[in-house]
Structures are given as C-alpha cells and as structure tokens.
C-alpha cells in the first residue's frame, strides 16, 4: 500500500521539556498532515537545579545508523529535516546515511552546539558539519549566531548583511540558505532572508513579544520540510513555514524554564 501522506525523515535530538528538538519537529509535521519518522541523534536534559543548563548525551553512532536503516527500509521519505547532531561521530554517521540513501529535499538546521557542551567541541562540530553534512543540504536555516560562524561575518546589523551572509554560506555548498534575523532584525519585523541560488527573497512577519522562544528554529525548518514533502516550491514552503512559526510563537506556552516554548497546536 502506498503511504497515505508524504513522509519526512527527521534526524534530531530529544529535548526533554518538550519545547525544542524532535518533540517540536513531530508536532509540526502532524499539523501539516505529514508523517514523521525519527532517528534520535542525542538527548538534551535541561538541569532545573543548575539554571536549566543543558546536559547533553550523544546517541551511539551505530544506533543512529540502525535507526535510519529501519526508517529507510520502511519508507521513501519525500523530505528530510536534520536538527541537532552535537558530536563528530554523529555527524559522520549522518553523512554516511545521506551519501548512501540519496534523499530529496534535505533541510538542515545547523544547530552547532548547545549550552553545557565543551566550548572546544563547537569548533570540531562546526568543521565537521560544514565538511560532511552541509554539502548534502538543499536548504540550510542558520540563526544569526550560526550565520556569523558559518559566513565568517561578524557584522550582521542589517537585512542587507543577512543576504550577503546567505550567499557566502551557499558558496560552501548548500543550494539554498535562509538566514533567520528573528528577534535580532532591526525594527519591528522578524525578517528572514532566503538565497535560493539565484535571488534573494525576504520573508517578514511582525515580531511577537520580546523574549527568545524555544523551538522556533526547529518549527520553522520542519515546517519547510513538510511543505517540500507535499510538493510546494521552496518559496511557498518558506512562506507557509514563516506564517506557521509566527502563529506558534504568538500562542507560546509558559512553563518553569526561563524561556517560553512555541505551541504548534490550537490552530
């Protein structure tokens, strides 16, 4: 029997309070009526006794390969969303999976490091991610911190800078790059700039609130993967994802952590 809906293959970490990571990814796919299959890359448990700092545990590389083997034996995904990988052996396993399977519509959210990991690990992860996984990406969705690292540009003060950085990152191999200005965009709009390989396009929505919201990046990238899985053009998928995340931020939930979390439901 053919699948009743498109399938998105998610490679992402668990964030145990549920706001970010694979929990946000699977909720997002459900809202788009896309079936999500998950390969878990790592486990992040915030520590409520230590200012909610991140405790990070990678999943063994062979277990990552096994999970992907199961998913890909079962389904032919119409898109892929890659979230936090967090360790070099994980990045290498994901490179092997992508090289072997030749999957369509790969959306890579380049989560370089989480708080609580060794700062020295950031450089290794950055280098490995660029070299091993970035060349497979059809769409890369860096936030401004990741944009600065990946483009080598320190000054990202204007929307024009976002576009220039997106082009520079594309030179490293990704086919399209969406630089997320988010809350740090000058003015009252959260503006993301897409370099699609031939033109720059801005996606703007009014800023909601003033606090950073957890799960926004995951929600946006996964919503793009959902749109691409359904056959939308890249521009249409980004536009719909941008509306979806903005509405999710407006409905964000407040728990005990210092940040609110995007809520994909109640639409």
Ligand X SMILES: Nc1ncnc2c1ncn2[C@@H]1O[C@H](COP(=O)(O)OP(=O)(O)O)[C@@H](O)[C@H]1O
Binding residue for ligand PLP (CB under 6 A) from 44, 98, 134, 190?
44
State which residue, 67 or 110, has the beta carbon closest to ligand X: 110
Burial of 266 per CB tally in 10 Å (0-12, 13-18, 19+): exposed
Binding residue for ligand X (CB under 6 A) from 17, 71, 246, 264?
246
Q: How many residues contact ligand X, by CB under 6 A?
A: 19
Could you tell me if 90 and 41 are in contact, meaning their C-beta atoms sit under 8 angstroms apart? yes
Binding residue for ligand X (CB under 6 A) from 17, 41, 143, 222?
143
Cα–Cα distance for residue pair 144/197, rounded to 1 Å = 20
Could you tell me if 135 and 96 are in contact, meaning their C-beta atoms sit under 8 angstroms apart? no
Q: Does 217 bind ligand PLP (CB under 6 A)?
A: yes
Q: What angle do CA 94, 40, 151 make, to 5 degrees?
A: 50
State the minimum distance, in angstroms, from the CB of residue 209 to ligand PLP. Answer: 15
CA nearest neighbour of 32 among 248, 214, 241: 241
State which residue, 67 or 246, has the beta carbon closest to ligand X: 246
Dihedral angle, C-alpha 151, 156, 162, 168, nearest 10 °:
-20
* Residue 84's binding partner out of ligand PLP, ligand X, none, with CB under 5 to 8 Å set by partner kind: ligand PLP
* Residue 44's binding partner out of ligand X, ligand PLP, none, with CB under 5 to 8 Å set by partner kind: ligand PLP
| b/e per residue 197-218 (b: at least 16 CB within 10 A) | eeebeebbbebbeeeebbbbbb
Could you tell me if 35 and 6 are in contact, meaning their C-beta atoms sit under 8 angstroms apart? yes
Q: Does 20 bind ligand PLP (CB under 6 A)?
A: yes
| Number of C-beta neighbours around residue 160 at 10 A | 11
Q: Does 214 bind ligand PLP (CB under 6 A)?
A: yes
State which residue, 7 or 174, has the beta carbon closest to ligand X: 174
Neighbouring C-alpha atoms within 13 Å toward the C-beta of 235: 8
Cα–Cα distance for residue pair 174/161, rounded to 1 Å = 18
State the minimum distance, in angstroms, from the CB of residue 23 to ligand X. Answer: 14
Q: Does 192 bind ligand X (CB under 6 A)?
A: yes
Q: Does 209 bind ligand X (CB under 6 A)?
A: yes
State the minimum distance, in angstroms, from the CB of residue 213 to ligand X. Answer: 6
Q: Where are the beta strands (DSSP E) in the chain?
A: 7-15, 35-47, 53-58, 79-82, 106-108, 139-140, 176-180, 189-195, 200-206, 213-214, 260-261
Q: Does 218 bind ligand PLP (CB under 6 A)?
A: yes
* Residue 114's binding partner out of ligand X, ligand PLP, none, with CB under 5 to 8 Å set by partner kind: ligand PLP
Contacts with ligand PLP in 53-112 (CB under 6 A)? Answer: 83-84, 111
Binding site for ligand X (CB under 6 A): 143, 180-183, 190, 192, 205, 207-209, 213, 216-217, 220, 242, 245-246, 249
Binding site for ligand PLP (CB under 6 A): 12-13, 15, 20-21, 44, 83-84, 111, 114, 214-218
């Amino acid at each position: 029997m053919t699948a009743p809906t498109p399938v998105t293959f998610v490679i992402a970490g668990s964030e145990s309070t549920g706001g970010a990571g694979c929990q946000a990814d699977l909720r997002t796919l459900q809202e788009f009526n896309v079936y999500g299959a998950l390969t878990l890359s790592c486990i992040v448990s915030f520590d409520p006794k230590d200012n909610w700092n991140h405790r990070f545990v990678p999943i063994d590389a062979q277990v990552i390969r096994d999970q992907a083997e199961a998913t890909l034996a079962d389904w032919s995904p119409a898109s892929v969303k890659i979230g936090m990988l967090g360790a070099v052996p994980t990045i290498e396993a994901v490179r092997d999976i992508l090289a072997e399977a030749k999957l369509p519509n790969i959306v890579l959210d380049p989560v370089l490091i989480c708080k609580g990991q060794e700062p020295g690990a950031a450089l290794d992860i950055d280098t490995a991610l660029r070299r091993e996984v970035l060349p497979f990406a059809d769409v890369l969705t860096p936030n401004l911190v990741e944009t600065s690292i990946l483009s080598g540009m320190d000054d990202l003060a204007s929307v024009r800078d976002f576009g220039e950085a997106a082009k520079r990152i594309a030179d490293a191999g990704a086919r399209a790059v969406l630089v997320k200005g988010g809350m740090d965009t000058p003015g009252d709009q959260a503006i993301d700039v897409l370099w699609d390989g031939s033109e720059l396009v801005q996606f703007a929505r009014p800023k909601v609130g003033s606090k950073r919201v957890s799960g926004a990046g995951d929600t946006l990238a996964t919503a793009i993967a959902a749109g691409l899985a359904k056959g939308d053009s890249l521009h249409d998928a980004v536009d719909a994802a941008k509306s979806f995340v903005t509405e999710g931020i407006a409905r964000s939930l407040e728990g005990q952590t210092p940040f609110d979390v995007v809520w994909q439901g109640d639409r």
